[in-house]
Amino acid sequence: MFSIDQLTLGEIATVEELSGESITSFGNGDKPMAKSLQALYFVAKRREDRKFTFKEAENVTMQEATDYLGFGETADPKE
């Protein structure tokens, strides 16, 4: 499962650059989230597919992105 805590500093910088906001502001209900989610999905997906583009991430549904990133899932206490 994807974990935001496992992002490298370079990946965090990429997410922040692409989204235009600090990664610490993600999840704040008062800010638009599409660009942030797109950037986070892009960085996570690039770990398995180095040719995946930010533009391709535009065509991913909200459901696909949140499922892929594991948002809304609870951690298994045995792990």
Tens of pLDDT, residue by residue over 40-74, are 999 999 999 999 999 999 999 999 999 999 886 65
Show the tokens assigned to 65: 């992105």
Q: What is the model's pLDDT at position 73? A: 64
Is the model's pLDDT at 75 over the cut of 60? Answer: no
Query: From CA 45, how far away is CA 55, in angstroms rounded?
Result: 12
Domain residue limits, the chain: 4-22+31-69
Q: What is the pLDDT of residue 2?
A: 80
Higher pLDDT, 3 or 52: 52
